[in-house]
Amino acid sequence: MAATACRCLCNTDWYQEEGPDIEFDGLGGAMAPIQPARFSDLLAYSTDMGQPLRGQSLRSGDVWFLRSEATAEKVTVSLFVNGISITHRGKEVRACFSPFTLVRNCKFQDSTSCNQLTSLKIFKIFFFVKNLCYFFGVPAEDETEADKERQCWVSDIANAVHLVTQSLFPPFSISCEPICAAAVTARRLMAGYVLYHSGDDVATVLYGELSPHTHGSDLARLAFYENEQCQRLAMEIWISVASNCFEKAGVVG
- Domains of the chain by start residue, with CATH: 48-166 (2.30.29.30)
Query: In the prediction, which pLDDT does 215 show?
Result: 78
CA distances from 59 to 64, 79, 84, 104, 189 (A): 16, 5, 10, 18, 43
C-alpha closest to that of 158 among 249, 65, 92, 90: 249
Give the global pTM: 0.80
Tens-place pLDDT, residues 189-214: 999 999 999 777 899 999 999 999 88
Please say if the pLDDT value at position 157 is more than 50: yes
CA atoms of 234 and 35, how far apart (whole Å) = 10
Query: In the prediction, which pLDDT does 10 show?
Result: 37
Is residue 112 classed exposed, middle or buried when 0-12, 13-18 and 19+ CB atoms within 10 A define those classes? exposed
Query: In the prediction, which pLDDT does 19 show?
Result: 35
Tens-place pLDDT, residues 47-79: 999 999 999 999 999 999 998 767 889 999 999
Query: In the prediction, which pLDDT does 171 show?
Result: 93
Q: 233-239 and 220-225 as β-strands: parallel, antiparallel, unpaired?
A: antiparallel
CA atoms of 60 and 85, how far apart (whole Å) = 9
